[in-house]
Each structure stands twice: as C-alpha cells, then as structure tokens.
Amino acid sequence: QVQLVESGGGSVQTGDSLRLSCAASGRNLSGFTMAWFRQAPGKERELVGTITWSAGRTFYADFAKGRFTISRDKIQKAMLYLQMNDLKPEDTAVYYCAARPYGTYDFGTWGQGTQVTVVS
C-alpha cells in the first residue's frame, strides 16, 4: 500500500515559481507511474503530467509543457516534485499526486492535495 502526502502549496503572484513535493511511503515504487493532477474550482480534475519511477520518463499535458517540470528523488528518499514556473491565475487549483502500478490504467492511490493560489 502506497501512501502519498503533498506539501509546498501556497499563495503566490503571477509570474512566480513554486515547487510542490509529494512524499511517498509504504512500499518500493519501482514498477509505478507517478502523476500530478490538479482541480480548479468548478472544474474537473485534469492531468498535469506523469513520470515513471524507475526510468524517469515524463509526459506533460499541453498547458504544462515549458513551464512545469516533474521529477523524483528515488535515491535519498521517495519524493515526487512538481516545479512550476511563470505561474498564472489559471493555475490556481488543488494539486494532487497519484500513483498507479505499471500495466494498469487507473490511478488508485492519491494524496490529500495541496492548494495553489496565483493572484494577479
């Protein structure tokens, strides 16, 4: 069983940067794909991007390309990161990390989320 806990959210101004963290525990993450999602008020949850834990291969939604970077630290501790640059008010949302084993389609493990608010 994997447990995920996000941190690093807050209120920032347009153009600022923010790095979110997700601490993973419970089992070895080799064989998992990790992801960041976000959900803005009144909108459906959307995928920000994914990373394979072992190889570090990444995928980004179009809105995230060039501004957001997903990385992981599997050496020191099991941490997932989302570096967000040039933030815009439309990036305001609750950000979640999630995990799914390779070969499955649904992200079945989720963190509690962390709020990011971008003010103009």
Alpha carbons 73 and 71: distance in angstroms, whole number = 7
Residues 6+ apart with CB under 8 A from 53: 29, 30, 31, 32, 33, 34, 72, 74
The pLDDT assigned to 27 comes to: 84
Buried b (16+ CB within 10 A) or exposed e, 57-82: eeebeeebeeebbbebeeeeebbbbb
Q: What is the pLDDT of residues 89-101, one digit of tens each?
A: 999 999 999 999 9
- Contact status, residue 24 vs residue 3, Cβ threshold 8 Å: yes
Q: What is the pLDDT of residues 24-75, one digit of tens each?
A: 998 889 889 999 999 999 999 999 999 999 999 999 999 999 999 999 997 7
